[in-house]
Structure 1
Amino acid sequence: MKSQIRVVWALMWSRAAVLRSDPERGEITTTVIVTALMAIAAIAIIGIIVAKLTQKANSIDLG
């Protein structure tokens, strides 16, 4: 059992070393955050436009 644990530990350690040496390991986080912020901004802008259009449409006198 100890030898199996040592093998698994060695595999995990080597995999972690490979991941640490990867120069682009944090790029996906930045991309996701920027994309989320852009989506939030787009939704806010659409909400503002819809509110202004609705207000303008409601102010038109049809009678």
Structure 2
Amino acid sequence: MFHLDTLTRRLRDHLAEVRQQARDHGDAGYTTETVLITALLAILALTVVGIIAAKVLGKAKGLDLG
């Protein structure tokens, strides 16, 4: 199981590698950077939706309909 520090370090290393490749290949890095940012935003959005869904379901289960 990864620790958060390990995951953060690996992500930072990967982003540094992607940036270096972008510098080496000119405009090719723009697409890669866009894809990475889009993926991170999608992960963030799914996390927020999951948290909201969990809270809504928790409230719904707590209702007394009888």
TM range, smaller chain: 0.5 to 0.7
Deviation at 1:25, TM superposition (A): 2.2
Higher relative contact order at CA 8 Å, sep ≥6: structure 1 or structure 2? 2
Match for residue 49 of structure 1 among 47, 52, 57: 52
Question: 2:43 corresponds to which letter in structure 1?
Answer: I
Question: 2:27 corresponds to which letter in structure 1?
Answer: E
Question: 1:49 corresponds to which letter in structure 2?
Answer: I
Taking only aligned residues, the RMSD between alpha carbons, in angstroms, comes to: 1.7
Structure 1 unmatched runs, 5+? 1-20
Instruction: Provide the identity percentage.
Output: 47
Structure 1 stretches of 4+ with a deviation exceeding 4 A read none
| Larger gyration radius, structure 1 or structure 2 | 1
Counterpart of 1:29 in structure 2 is: 32
Aligned residue for 1:26, secondary structure, equals: helix
Give the TM-score normalised by structure 1. 0.61
Deviation at 1:28, TM superposition (A): 0.7
> Which deviations, in whole Å up to 9, do the C-alpha atoms of 1:18-59 show, x marking residues without a partner?
xxx964121111000000000000111000000000000000
Question: 2:57 corresponds to which letter in structure 1?
Answer: T
